Structure 1
Amino acid sequence: MHISRTGFALLLSGVLWGLPPPQAVLAQVPAQPEAASGFSLKPAVTASKAMVVTANPHATAAGLELLHAGGSAVDAAIAAALVLNVVEPQSSGIGGGGFLVHHDARRGRTSAWDGRETAPAGVDEHLFLTPGGDKMAFYDAVVGGRSVGVPGLLRMFADVHARHGRLPWKRLFEPAIRFATDGFPVSQRLHALIAKDRFLSRDPAARQLFFDADGRPLAEGATLRNPLLAEVLRTVAEQGADAFYEGPIARDIAAAVTATPNPGGLSLRDLAGYRAIERTPLCGTYRSYRVCGMPPPSSGAATVLALLGILERFRLSGIAPDSAFSAHLFSEAGRLAFADRDAWYGDPAAMTVAPAQLLARDYLAGRAQQIRLDDSLDRALPGNPGKGATPRSVSVEQPATSHISIVDAAGNAVSLTASIEDAFGSRRMVRGFLLNNQLTDFSFAPADERGPHPNRVGPGKRPRSSMSPTLVFDSNGQLFAVTGSPGGSQIINYVAENLVGLIDWKLPPDALLARPHVGSRNGPTEVEDRPDARALAASLAAFGHEPVMRDLTSGLGVIVRQNGKWIGAADPRREGTAAGY
């Protein structure tokens, strides 16, 4: 579709945008899962055989170490994720869960692995309601055992390693054990997040680990050692994942969750009964590319594919990447895609509409027709492809998360996103690792006048997520890109922006990641608060948007195949690095 004359005129005219948006607009903006801690440009890295991109240089080095030792992409991803548990404890770890998408180059097969936390058997849909029937305040629900789901990360790792690992299970733990035992210097980012957190010091074990003898947050550069976590990792390395889900470690997890204040209901039976699930990847096409990710309970791949499917009706390659018109189209597509995400997605067993219905080409074409070229929808309504099914309301999600992208020398690939939900999770620590607060990803209100919510709390259910580990294949079926990001529900926009930049505009990955973010989650149009984005925000106002300037702390890790080589890039907004050989 061509840009209209009206669109061009508005682009050229611009408006004066100096006043802050009204409080009603600001109230619609979800909180950041992790605060911003700086921006540092990072050049892309090129390698001929293999590439690792993770959220921390120690984890990147661990992944590369395992590849050099003959490990597979799965081996390297697990080793890197375990190191992240040590050096980036606020974001992910064995007390949480994750999703992993794997490509087996020899078999030409892609698989999706669900290590999402589950609700304990003893909870019900009233978990986050007050005695009077009102929804609990978010942090009243988060802090303590009430919000803790059964951790799934280690069980998923064990299952994926059994299928696709090359090195012994024990070998994958060596780098993390080394860092936990010998220690590492506290980074600027970790120090800043400890200092900003209001709740972490309330937990005695967390206070002992993250604060000095005078009760001050560990200083930048101070050595952080975690011998308790090292011992847990040694036990699991020697005895397998069962040592985490049964026995003394499991007893300590259950005791911590059920302790006051704000106790939860996780039991030893819940831990012993946890199972990771291999699911069929959710794939769709964009232009001539095949995009694959996680199906529900993640809404990530489905919403990314919906957003791209709506945008496919526009010739973005003929529109300047940094123009207000391209930002307008992307934001409007986001409004429509998020309206459907919020209305329809949850645990797959509770959904009344299938992703295939919401991703049908005719359905998305109809959604795209709602986009006006010179005015914003402001707030989109969900579509209704379910022939009488009723769309639902919104629930809260703001995971603290880490992402890993890896390609090994055989061409196998892993896109892994792991999370403990909010920064520092439930703020409840067991044996050196933090427990998740993933149950707050459920809808706090189980129902309204229209009936039950598909993302309501229930025994054994998996809460909806936005994590979007993604693999992209070209028209010949060859792996083209590996990507994903942390960032709460904003992950969807980050990944979709990334794919549009790579596919439509052919941007180099490091230049792409350095661009200011812009998009909408069916609320205000959010623009990254940077000097180079203020003119864009001003121009967007001419399209009827009410832009909100804010930190948008993505953590994208991107690997792209170009001219037979791998190009890796890490997000300049976090500590991540890329390395290859």
Structure 2
Amino acid sequence: MEKFALLGDPASAPQATNDTAALLEPAALAQLGARISDQSLVPPGPLPAPDTPAASHISVIDPYEVYVSLVSGVGAFFGSKFRSTSGIVFNNAMSAFYDPAQASTGTLNLPLSGRRPLTSVSPAILMAPKVCGQRVVTGGSDASLLTQAVIRLADPRENLTSSLEAPRLHTSPDSVQLGIEEDRPLQFSSSVLRSLEAMGHETRGEEKPYPSCNGITKNYDQLSSHSDSRGGGTAVRF
């Protein structure tokens, strides 16, 4: 996908800011949308997507309408698998950069002193345009999984709990494989899976642990919170 070639740390590569703005232009979005079809797959880009890190997520709404979404982790499980003498586990964030020897097409996401790598972690705060409309505070370690949960909130038949507990497809822009969470209580219907396979996808069982997405919604003064059962968290109010 183009974004993995164009995007990078704007503090280290200022042109990334202009590239982001260009990708969000209506004409660019229309061009990308025209490539999406119910009958075929979007061709993979020249660079792979960054690996999904292992991370924890916290969503907060306080009585004064202050919203916090925080996603934090050490990269892969147990990070770099090295720790300090005091027991602090070091992250493996360097692995989120592209290898200069392999990124021959050019990318801003190359290792450089002080540069931050691309990541799929996605804290999200969504606000309806009207006063006291729906507010959503959520987030997760995988943007594509989080998007699937958030899109369901636009369906009036869904609520926060059903949106976060619904089945998800584990995808990667550089692969036709779709990971299926086989041991979850809610599953995609066989007709949906057959349609995806007819388009050229290959389905497989997704390995655990599954990334989770927690969230809080507020509509007028009505609060709803839910901790995804894929993780080990708890929704708390006080």
Q: Which residue of 1 aligns with 2:26?
A: 361
SS in 2 for 1:417: strand
- Asked if the contact 2:76/2:92 (under 8 Å) is kept, the reply is yes
Q: Tell me the distance in 2 between the aligned counterparts of 1:358 and 1:368.
A: 12
- Asked if the contact 2:36/2:42 (under 8 Å) is kept, the reply is no
Q: Tell me the distance in 2 between the aligned counterparts of 1:500 and 1:506.
A: 12
Q: Structure 1 residue 542: deviation in Å?
A: 2.6
**1:505–1:565 CA distance, 2 compared to 1 (3 A):** closer
Q: Structure 1 residue 447: deviation in Å?
A: 6.2
Q: Tell me the distance in 2 between the aligned counterparts of 1:365 and 1:561.
A: 32
Q: Tell me the distance in 2 between the aligned counterparts of 1:424 and 1:395.
A: 21
Matches within 5 A, 1:533-572: 533=188, 535=190, 536-551=192-207, 553-572=210-229
Q: Which residue of 2 aligns with 1:466?
A: 120
CA RMSD, 1 decimal = 2.3
Matches within 5 A, 1:495-510: 495-510=146-161
Unaligned runs of 5+ in 2: none
Matched, 1:432 2:97: no
Q: Which residue of 2 aligns with 1:377?
A: 41
Q: Structure 1 residue 395: deviation in Å?
A: 6.1
Q: Which residue of 1 aligns with 2:232?
A: 575
Question: Which amino acid is 1:476 matched to?
Answer: K
Q: Structure 1 residue 406: deviation in Å?
A: 0.5
Q: Structure 1 residue 528: deviation in Å?
A: 2.2
Q: Which residue of 1 aligns with 2:48?
A: 394
Equivalent residues, number: 227
SS in 2 for 1:423: coil
- Asked if the contact 1:554/1:571 (under 8 Å) is kept, the reply is no
Q: Tell me the distance in 2 between the aligned counterparts of 1:449 and 1:485.
A: 31
- Asked if the contact 1:395/1:443 (under 8 Å) is kept, the reply is no
Q: What is the aligned counterpart of 2:145 among 478, 487, 494?
A: 494
Q: Structure 1 residue 377: deviation in Å?
A: 1.6
Unaligned runs of 5+ in 1: 1-338, 382-391
The one-character-per-residue Cα deviations of 1:221-243 (angstroms, maximum 9, x if unpaired) are xxxxxxxxxxxxxxxxxxxxxxx
Matched, 1:443 2:98: yes
**1:396–1:446 CA distance, 2 compared to 1 (3 A):** farther
- Asked if the contact 2:50/2:120 (under 8 Å) is kept, the reply is no
SS in 2 for 1:566: strand
Q: Structure 1 residue 525: deviation in Å?
A: 4.2
**Larger RCO, structure (CA 8 Å, separation 6 or more):** 1
Q: Tell me the distance in 2 between the aligned counterparts of 1:446 and 1:461.
A: 18
Matches within 5 A, 1:146-225: none
Q: Structure 1 residue 543: deviation in Å?
A: 3.1
Q: Which 10-residue stretch deviates more, 541-550 or 353-362?
A: 541-550
Q: Structure 1 residue 530: deviation in Å?
A: 2.0
Q: Structure 1 residue 510: deviation in Å?
A: 1.2
Q: Structure 1 residue 443: deviation in Å?
A: 0.8
Matches within 5 A, 1:270-309: none
The one-character-per-residue Cα deviations of 1:204-225 (angstroms, maximum 9, x if unpaired) are xxxxxxxxxxxxxxxxxxxxxx
Matches within 5 A, 1:231-246: none
**1:448–1:495 CA distance, 2 compared to 1 (3 A):** closer
Matched, 1:524 2:183: no
SS in 2 for 1:420: strand
SS in 2 for 1:540: helix
More strand by share: 2
Q: Tell me the distance in 2 between the aligned counterparts of 1:446 and 1:477.
A: 51
TM-score, normalising length: structure 2: 0.85
Q: Tell me the distance in 2 between the aligned counterparts of 1:396 and 1:474.
A: 30
Q: Tell me the distance in 1 between the aligned counterparts of 2:122 and 2:25.
A: 20
Q: Structure 1 residue 379: deviation in Å?
A: 2.7
The one-character-per-residue Cα deviations of 1:19-78 (angstroms, maximum 9, x if unpaired) are xxxxxxxxxxxxxxxxxxxxxxxxxxxxxxxxxxxxxxxxxxxxxxxxxxxxxxxxxxxx
Q: Structure 1 residue 366: deviation in Å?
A: 1.6
Question: Which amino acid is 1:397 matched to?
Answer: D
Q: Structure 1 residue 380: deviation in Å?
A: 3.9
Q: Tell me the distance in 2 between the aligned counterparts of 1:506 and 1:481.
A: 17
Q: Tell me the distance in 2 between the aligned counterparts of 1:527 and 1:492.
A: 15
- Asked if the contact 1:417/1:469 (under 8 Å) is kept, the reply is yes
SS in 1 for 2:120: coil
More helix by share: 1
Q: Structure 1 residue 557: deviation in Å?
A: 0.9
Matched, 1:422 2:76: yes
SS in 1 for 2:22: helix
Q: Tell me the distance in 1 between the aligned counterparts of 2:163 and 2:37.
A: 27
